[in-house]
Structure 1
């Protein structure tokens, strides 16, 4: 007896496996980034200060990423792309990390993580200001939800005092710096390899932070040698592994789903810091944090606008939003169906010149996908051996 498996069933099974794998990898990435707060606070307790910790973290992460680049034989950015990548690391990512981990030294990690997640709304504001996106009702609703959540978190008790106020300002500064970082990185060419770009970014950040620490005399060895263990964990568990997990996972689940799954990051931060340090959010802060995370989900809602079919050709708008705040419409028209094995298969032809790659969904139908942004670098470029190409978005 022989068993015959139809091609659509085999494709469906393969897609289901890829979706499960991608979901796991994105959640692993979010968990790795979310645990960085615990590692940082443990490093502080071992005698590290912020400049020394960050310089060590980025230096070790850069070494590991360059090893990955050499193993994959990935092409390096050149010319303007290289200059932008160096600037993103030396200025943008160094500032964002300095603000974020500086805030961790002053206020609870759970509040810091939730305040950082104001950056998707800030990216939306920047995109609207730069006329890259239009302020439709969905985006405005997400901005209102994020603003209400921020007011709840900042208006709740537990954030008074000069030290706490400074921590809140640093956390908000990290959100602003990251929004600017993502907005600038959106201008990088789509074909860049994510590991190569991230290696350049981490190297530039390490050099910038080390030079700043030497100039200010703030670099010093920790009081406890065991403190270096937390730096290794920061570099491996909270930098390299999350970048790789997000890069691979987003090819399987898509940019929109990956962005929503990434909201597990602050949840991991809240849970781990509560378990290790006993930190607790007040009910109002927790409600505000949920509102901020809900705004991220609202920004990723997919909208499918299907026009009425005409006699000759029907136009379909397939939207897959970027992890930042908004989707770009790609106008496509179906070609004349061709008979294959007695069944008509529709192909979609892009009207926009210079179209990008697509990923199959179902049998014979394709939709556009946009590239996500990882916390460790710029937008991922296309994988050379397999997987779809990703269109760059506004970030977030």
Structure 2
């Protein structure tokens, strides 16, 4: 197997890992966990194993004071805020719909980059944004009957925060090892949720076994393994190809939700999701100058 094919398989496996997040969060909720407990456990456990992995690789973990402050803010406010909104959306929406709606972020990245003057407008971006908007309208039009507005706003808020996170990350973190970045981001997010849970009395340790197993699964599959697999594949196939292959994530989420949770999507929902992903594909292939090679993914 060539390095490029090996990298493609790593990215596909990473996308499959990320796709389990919504399903495992629902499972953790059923085991008695709340959002702050889930996210504190997710990021702290992932940080621990990531620390061991980087130490085994003898990777230096120290970075400059300015970079460390930037990463902590990105973890506490950016990735932490996005993860909280995503988990909150899972309370109100099916995991399959949440996964598809999150993929509005490629279009949002382009819009923000255009507003900030980091990208120039071209025909491909115009077409892609129209296609993404049409997909979102179709998806929401088909889904609002069974969806709670709180969930829709939460996941779209998560997509908005993640879009800003990507742009900021690409601007300030180009010279730092992505896995070191992931460690700092995950650790700062984890400690933030732990302190918040302790301060508000929201830390729940009396969980059913399925709750603890689900939190461990969240730390391992859609966080640690998926992140390491993504960056390992990224080095072999490049940022553009990695971003395109990663679009398997919402499709795998839909399939797993159907098999494991019994969720079903209508034909119009499926068509809207496909249109939305097609718009994102246009951006990746022909229109997007802001590459998705930053620190962690959902």
2:106·2:163 contact (CA, 8 Å) conserved in 1?
Answer: yes
2:106 is the counterpart of 1:144: no
Q: Specify the alignment match of 1:326 in structure 2.
A: 288
Query: Aligned ranges for residues 7-18 of structure 1 at < 5 Å?
Result: 17-18=2-3
Q: Secondary structure of 1:373's match?
A: coil
Deviation at 1:199, TM superposition (A): 0.5
Q: Secondary structure of 1:186's match?
A: helix
Cα-to-partner distance string for 1:264-284 (whole Å, 9 max, x where unaligned): 100111000111111111222
Q: Specify the alignment match of 2:187 in structure 1.
A: 203
Cα-to-partner distance string for 1:56-85 (whole Å, 9 max, x where unaligned): 111100101111221222233212211110
Q: Specify the alignment match of 1:102 in structure 2.
A: 88
Higher helix fraction (1 or 2): 2
Q: Secondary structure of 1:159's match?
A: helix
2:165 is the counterpart of 1:191: no
1:198·1:376 contact (CA, 8 Å) conserved in 2?
Answer: no
Deviation at 1:160, TM superposition (A): 3.5
* 2:283 corresponds to which of 275, 279, 299: 299
User: Structure 2: how far apart are the matches of 1:132 and 1:110?
Assistant: 32
Query: Aligned ranges for residues 1-396 of structure 1 at < 5 Å?
Result: 17-75=2-60, 76-156=62-142, 158-160=143-145, 164-302=148-286, 326-327=288-289, 372-373=293-294, 375-376=296-297
2:179·2:295 contact (CA, 8 Å) conserved in 1?
Answer: no
User: Structure 2: how far apart are the matches of 1:136 and 1:114?
Assistant: 26
Q: Secondary structure of 2:209's match?
A: coil
1:246·1:374 contact (CA, 8 Å) conserved in 2?
Answer: no
Cα-to-partner distance string for 1:156-207 (whole Å, 9 max, x where unaligned): 1x4247x711111111011011111111111224221111111010011011
Structure whose CA Rg is larger = 1
User: Structure 1: how far apart are the matches of 2:275 and 2:156?
Assistant: 16
- TM-score under structure 1 normalisation? 0.72
Deviation at 1:151, TM superposition (A): 0.6
1:91·1:208 contact (CA, 8 Å) conserved in 2?
Answer: no
1:153·1:284 contact (CA, 8 Å) conserved in 2?
Answer: yes
1:108·1:279 contact (CA, 8 Å) conserved in 2?
Answer: yes
Query: Larger RCO: Structure 1 or Structure 2 (Cα < 8 Å, ≥ 6 residues apart)?
Result: 2
Going from structure 1 to structure 2, the CA distance change for 1:258 and 1:170 (only over 3 Å counts) comes to: same
Cα-to-partner distance string for 1:142-161 (whole Å, 9 max, x where unaligned): 111111111111111x4247
User: Structure 2: how far apart are the matches of 1:79 and 1:191?
Assistant: 14
**Which runs of no fewer than 5 residues in structure 1 stay unpaired?**
1-15, 303-324, 329-369, 378-396
Deviation at 1:221, TM superposition (A): 1.8
Going from structure 1 to structure 2, the CA distance change for 1:371 and 1:57 (only over 3 Å counts) comes to: closer
**Which runs of no fewer than 5 residues in structure 2 stay unpaired?**
none
Deviation at 1:298, TM superposition (A): 0.4
Higher strand fraction (1 or 2): 1
